[in-house]
A and B are shown apart, each in its own frame.
Chain A
Amino acid sequence: MSDLDAFRAEARGWLEANAPAEIRGLEIDPETGGNWGGRRPRWDHPEMKTWLERAAARGFTAPTWPREHGGGGLAPDEAKVLAEEMRRLRLPPPLTGFGLSMIGPTLLRFGSEEQRRWHLPRICRGEIRWCQGYSEPDAGSDLASLQTRALRDGDCFVVTGTKVWTSYGDLSDWIFALVRTNPQAKKQAGITFLLIDMETPGVSVRPIRLISGKSPFCETRFEGVRVPVANVVGEIDGGWTVAKALLGHERSMIADLFGAGTSRRARKPGSALANLAREYRGGEHGTPLPQPLLRDEIARLEMDERALALTSQRARDAARAGHQPGAETSIFKVAATELNQRRTELAVRVAGAQGLGWEGAGYSEEDLVRTRQWLRARGNSIEGGTSEVQLDIIAKRVLGLPD
């Protein structure tokens, strides 16, 4: 038995003994549900709390992070095995959120020893929920033009300004924010990466309503908020380097979230869109759909999804083989978000007039969710760097085209 087989047996035994039976196969909305932790946690099921606590104690909320910081200390191929075993038992992730996906990896690379020691175990245990303070009303794609000011006052920075698109800002405990510490320097050179406890006086949060109705997005204001200088990640005025590295984590997270079918869809057998077409447009199971052009569109979409999923697999295989991330990784943000837009748009179109309900009687829950998902998906190619910004990055960094 190889070491990896031994680990698989061990992981399987542990999961079977410790993952509560009630949460196996639990249906969880990929964007709003799941264990996000924090000071005010929400549970899709009471046993989700047990699941988080046990997984955290075993280091399985952050399997590849070092054990000393609360992670599992697993090698990439062991983490892959763990994920396979969790899928086999149809287990939801024990913990999700921006602590694990964005600020944690950033602190592992750029944080001080003290920051890592304080924050990482709290992230792993799901005690602190994080949000991201990057964009501002006047700094969208041109992020480096941000204006939120941080003035030095002894051991503190005094922060004043407004951040927008702070996802789940109203539910979060800490925010990692980009602030301007040197207005005289070139715009990228005067930025500092700062960790701010949102319970500090002067922080206020207001939800933003989107075209899809509700949204996780907020506007977060800072009015004279005092933040210890010890909360700077990296160098003062050197935050842009940290910010760009974190954006890489954000983009891969968005690509995973909206990429090749979310977990809920992927678990159902057969073609989800073809089944939907039969439901709304008729036709016998196992026979060609009666509308050949629609059939072609569905096939095209599902083939594109498969090609993207295979590309994700290729990137993971390359990482496991010890290769540096290759050019293929740069395509995920654009490809995954645009695919999600096509998928949700096609689903609404397949449903015809029944796909246009907003709320109330006459529409099923699925109809209404479908409408909101379509509208929400329009934002996928904007958030986390627009497709246009991503194409600029590919053209410059991968293809070497001139400025």
Chain B
Amino acid sequence: MGDATSLVLGEDQELLAKTAADFVAERSPLSRVRALRDADDPLGFSPALWKAMAELGWVGIPFPEVYGGAGLGMAELAIVLEALGRALAPEPFLATVLLGGQAILRGGSEAQRSAWLPRVCAGEACLALASEERAGAGDLLCVATRAEAEGQGWRLEGEKAPVLDGPAAQAFVVAARTAGAPRDREGVSLFLVPADAAGLEVLRLRRVDGRGAAALRLRGVHVGAEALLGAPGAGRAILEPVLDLATAGLAAEMLGSAEEALARTLHYLKHRVQFGVPIGSFQALKHRAARLFIEVELCRSAVLAAVRALDAGAADATALVSLAKARASELAVHVADEAVQMHGGIGMTDEHEIGFFLKRARVAACTLGDAAAHRERWAGLHGY
């Protein structure tokens, strides 16, 4: 699909973007996000809509056809995620498709893949990655949770938080230490743990964006030998590329949210009249809007380059992912802050929708590494 090196969409990709935009416009108004929040929905998303997205083939985009996927790449998935970001659609692409699903695809045995991936692609099973811990302060690979050999299997002990879309998951990919100390690079292994395992407690976290999130308590959770995902100690090697995919996907979603927040703000600037004129005629606001537009365009280029580099397995893919996420994190928060300010008093009300963008932006910005963490990684990758 499209020219892999070009930073413009190919014909098939344009068609996918149009399909996604139409779907979102018809099926996912922002009032849906408000309704989920007001209902205090424990999942934070709509299983029916998730199923519909699976039927459109979106959930299976980055999985091989043998598991019911489309065998496409991040370039295509990013198009869908950007469209969903515009609507703040909370369906669990990040947790199920990119974190849990890709960990199983890349690290799992054939039995594990066959057991889970067809159900994921069909929209019948949700997954989640339980790697991050509070003490890691945002470093997802800082793992204190331990796995001890017990009988023919393993016994898991520890706490995980936040686990994105934990309340919806039928199974968790749990990172636990089979050797070493919490900040060691090596010694982390991955385990596939069913949500109903004895000793596993899933505590729902209510966060400002209203999306599904959980804290996990693992109290002597016993899993069989077949639960191990990949070799013992392979956790980091499996998760690092998976986290890059998810980070790029999140950046695409955030780009979409920022575009929409800016579009809504521009609409307001053109229609809100004060002092007898549209407030968008004031230069103080025009220039701020123009600067937001510049930021959006720069971020778009970074996201396009990152997903293409990932699909091509390019050497600078990791650096480009950090560029995309650092840009997207600052963009989404900046646009949302400015959007509320330019909407004035109405922007502060819960009745108005612009506040939803502010809340989601803040959560997404600190998910999978905030801007500072990605600048840190960029500097390290460039030898300083």
Residues of chain A touching chain B, judged by Cβ–Cβ distance below 8 Å, are: 270-271, 274, 277-278, 285-286, 288-289, 295-296, 298-300, 302-304, 306-308, 310-311, 313-314, 317-318, 320-321, 323, 327-328, 331, 334-335, 388, 390-392, 394-396, 398-403
Establish whether residues A303 and B326, one from each chain, have CB atoms under 8 Å apart when the complex forms: yes
Measured CA separation A288–B383 after assembly (Å): 7
Q: Residue-by-residue, is B276-287 near A (CB-CB < 8 Å gives 1, otherwise 0)?
A: 011011010111
Closest to A318 in B: B8
Establish whether residues B375 and A395, one from each chain, have CB atoms under 8 Å apart when the complex forms: no
Establish whether residues B375 and A299, one from each chain, have CB atoms under 8 Å apart when the complex forms: yes
Closest to B265 in A: A399
Any chain A CB within 8 A of the CB of B380?
A: yes
Measured CA separation A401–B294 after assembly (Å): 15
Chain B residues lying within 8 Å of A307, measured Cβ to Cβ, are 298-299, 301-302, 323, 327
Measured CA separation A396–B147 after assembly (Å): 61
Contact flag A323-B266 (CB < 8 Å), given A270-B382, A334-B294, A392-B283: no
What are 23 inter-chain pairs, A to B, with CB distance below 8 A? A270-B382, A271-B382, A274-B382, A288-B380, A288-B384, A295-B384, A299-B379, A306-B323, A313-B7, A313-B301, A318-B8, A321-B8, A334-B294, A391-B286, A391-B290, A392-B287, A394-B290, A394-B293, A395-B286, A395-B290, A398-B293, A399-B266, A402-B278
Given contacts A270-B382, A402-B281, 17 further A-B contacts (CB under 8 A): A271-B382, A271-B384, A274-B379, A288-B379, A288-B380, A289-B379, A289-B384, A303-B375, A307-B301, A314-B8, A334-B290, A335-B298, A395-B280, A398-B293, A399-B289, A400-B266, A401-B269
Any chain A CB within 8 A of the CB of B83?
A: no
Chain A residues lying within 8 Å of B380, measured Cβ to Cβ, are 288
Establish whether residues B280 and A391, one from each chain, have CB atoms under 8 Å apart when the complex forms: no
Of B278, B298, B305, which is within 8 A of A331 by CB? B298
Chain A residues lying within 8 Å of B269, measured Cβ to Cβ, are 401
Q: Inter-chain contact count A-B, CB under 8 Å?
A: 132
Contact flag A391-B376 (CB < 8 Å), given A306-B323, A308-B298, A401-B270: no
Any chain A CB within 8 A of the CB of B291?
A: yes
Contact flag A399-B293 (CB < 8 Å), given A299-B378, A299-B379, A300-B375: yes
Any chain A CB within 8 A of the CB of B274?
A: no
Establish whether residues A302 and B382, one from each chain, have CB atoms under 8 Å apart when the complex forms: yes
Establish whether residues A388 and B287, one from each chain, have CB atoms under 8 Å apart when the complex forms: yes
Any chain A CB within 8 A of the CB of B304?
A: yes
Instruction: List the 4 shortest-distance A-B pairs measured between CB atoms, nearest first.
Output: A274-B384, A395-B286, A314-B7, A310-B301
Closest to B280 in A: A401
Most chain A CB neighbours (cut-off 10 Å) among B287, B297, B299: B297
Measured CA separation A274–B298 after assembly (Å): 23
Q: Which residues of B337-384 have CB atoms within 8 Å of chain A's CB atoms? A: 372, 375-376, 378-380, 382-384
Q: How large is the interface on B (under 10, 10 to 19, 20 to 34, 35 or more residues)?
A: 35 or more
Chain B residues lying within 8 Å of A400, measured Cβ to Cβ, are 266, 270
Q: Which residues of B40-66 have CB atoms within 8 Å of chain A's CB atoms? A: none
Closest to A270 in B: B383
Main secondary structure of the interface of B (DSSP, over half): helix
Any chain A CB within 8 A of the CB of B6?
A: yes
Chain B residues lying within 8 Å of A335, measured Cβ to Cβ, are 294, 298
Contact flag A310-B302 (CB < 8 Å), given A277-B384, A285-B383, A388-B287: yes
Closest to B7 in A: A314
Establish whether residues A304 and B383, one from each chain, have CB atoms under 8 Å apart when the complex forms: no
Residues of chain B touching chain A, judged by Cβ–Cβ distance below 8 Å, are: 6-8, 266, 269-270, 277-278, 280-281, 283, 285-287, 289-291, 293-294, 297-302, 304-305, 322-323, 326-327, 372, 375-376, 378-380, 382-384
For residue B131, give the distance in angstroms from its CB to the closest CB of chain A.
Answer: 25
Chain B residues lying within 8 Å of A328, measured Cβ to Cβ, are 297, 300-301
Establish whether residues A303 and B378, one from each chain, have CB atoms under 8 Å apart when the complex forms: yes
Measured CA separation A331–B6 after assembly (Å): 20
Chain B residues lying within 8 Å of A334, measured Cβ to Cβ, are 290, 294
Establish whether residues A314 and B304, one from each chain, have CB atoms under 8 Å apart when the complex forms: yes
Contact flag A401-B281 (CB < 8 Å), given A270-B382, A286-B383, A299-B378: yes
Establish whether residues B297 and A395, one from each chain, have CB atoms under 8 Å apart when the complex forms: no
Chain A residues lying within 8 Å of B280, measured Cβ to Cβ, are 395, 401-402
Closest to B262 in A: A399
Measured CA separation A373–B203 after assembly (Å): 58
Establish whether residues B289 and A317, one from each chain, have CB atoms under 8 Å apart when the complex forms: no
Establish whether residues A303 and B297, one from each chain, have CB atoms under 8 Å apart when the complex forms: no
Closest to B283 in A: A392
Contact flag A401-B289 (CB < 8 Å), given A313-B7, A314-B301: yes
Of A298, A320, A396, which is within 8 A of B384 by CB? A298
Measured CA separation A402–B277 after assembly (Å): 9
Measured CA separation A398–B296 after assembly (Å): 13
Contact flag A331-B286 (CB < 8 Å), given A288-B380, A299-B378, A317-B7: no
Establish whether residues B327 and A303, one from each chain, have CB atoms under 8 Å apart when the complex forms: yes
Measured CA separation A183–B329 after assembly (Å): 53
Establish whether residues A310 and B7, one from each chain, have CB atoms under 8 Å apart when the complex forms: yes
Closest to B277 in A: A402
For residue B321, give the distance in angstroms from its CB to the closest CB of chain A.
Answer: 12
For residue A170, give the distance in angstroms from its CB to the closest CB of chain B.
Answer: 35
Chain B residues lying within 8 Å of A304, measured Cβ to Cβ, are 298
Establish whether residues A296 and B294, one from each chain, have CB atoms under 8 Å apart when the complex forms: no
Measured CA separation A334–B322 after assembly (Å): 24
For residue A342, give the distance in angstroms from its CB to the closest CB of chain B.
Answer: 14
Chain B residues lying within 8 Å of A323, measured Cβ to Cβ, are 8
Chain A residues lying within 8 Å of B285, measured Cβ to Cβ, are 401
